[in-house]
């Protein structure tokens, strides 16, 4: 409880007790903690608002992809505009095969513009080691399966499970496939050695 005392002017005042002081300290700390939590709650949505929303991604916002853990001979899948984007890290053997089967391709010279100009080469890539393409068959939109095993009759690539369209490791369609064109190479660029920006190629560099 508080204790009444007399000051130098003869006026009475209350001296807070130890219990009162403890209560006051508790209230001050509780108020400060509540304020900190409130500030954090406001900060999280604010930070989140600076990141591309799912709607923005679906509408075509560029997407950054980290390829640092992708090993030779492996494929990873990202998403852009609601579609799968394949990134394949090709081995030297895979790249060697790309130049040796033009005779079985429907569009070996890439006359149909299914890729940006900077990818108009055998590898259909900025960096030959990495292929970037939409994982959607150009026939009816199914997603082809990987078949990277190189044999005497197959140089590795993709086979669509729906109607049998075949594509090589650059996404070029083989003759006799229902698919009329090669797989699409989306606009992209390298932000760093291991980061690809899909959907924006304003500064695309080799």
Distance separating alpha carbons of residues 42 and 130, to the nearest angstrom:
41
Structure tokens at 76: 């990873």
* 50 HSE (CA, 13 A, CB side): 4
Distance separating alpha carbons of residues 183 and 129, to the nearest angstrom:
17
What is the four-CA torsion angle of 191, 90, 99, 106, rounded to 10 degrees? Answer: -80
Q: Which of 101, 139, 163, 188 is the catalytic position? A: 163
Q: Which helix (H) or strand (E) holds 66?
A: strand 63-66
Distance separating alpha carbons of residues 42 and 85, to the nearest angstrom:
35
Residue with tokens 């002081």: 21
Residue with tokens 């807070």: 16
* Catalytic residue list contains 188: no
Q: Which helix (H) or strand (E) holds 29?
A: helix 18-49
Tell me the C-alpha to C-alpha distance, in Å, between residue 62 and each of 67, 144, 191. 16, 24, 12
The residues that are catalytic are 163
């Amino acid at each position: 409880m508080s204790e009444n005392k007399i000051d130098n002017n003869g006026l009475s005042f209350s001296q807070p007790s130890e219990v009162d002081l403890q209560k006051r300290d508790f209230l001050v700390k509780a108020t400060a903690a509540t304020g900190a939590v409130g500030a954090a709650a406001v900060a999280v949505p604010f930070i989140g608002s600076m990141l591309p929303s799912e709607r923005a991604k679906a509408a075509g916002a560029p997407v950054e992809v980290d390829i640092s853990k992708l090993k030779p001979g492996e494929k990873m899948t990202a998403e852009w505009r609601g579609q799968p984007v394949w990134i394949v890290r090709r081995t030297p053997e895979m790249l060697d095969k790309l130049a040796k089967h033009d005779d079985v391709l429907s569009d070996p010279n890439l006359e149909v513009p299914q890729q940006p100009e900077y990818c108009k080469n055998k590898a259909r890539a900025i960096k030959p080691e990495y292929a970037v393409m939409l994982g959607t068959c150009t026939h009816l939109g199914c997603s082809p399966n990987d078949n990277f095993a190189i044999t005497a009759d197959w140089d590795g690539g993709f086979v669509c499970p729906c109607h049998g369209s075949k594509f090589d490791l650059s996404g070029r369609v083989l003759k006799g496939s229902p698919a009329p064109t090669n797989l699409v190479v989306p606009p992209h660029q390298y932000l760093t050695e291991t980061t690809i920006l899909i959907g924006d190629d304003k500064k695309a560099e080799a």
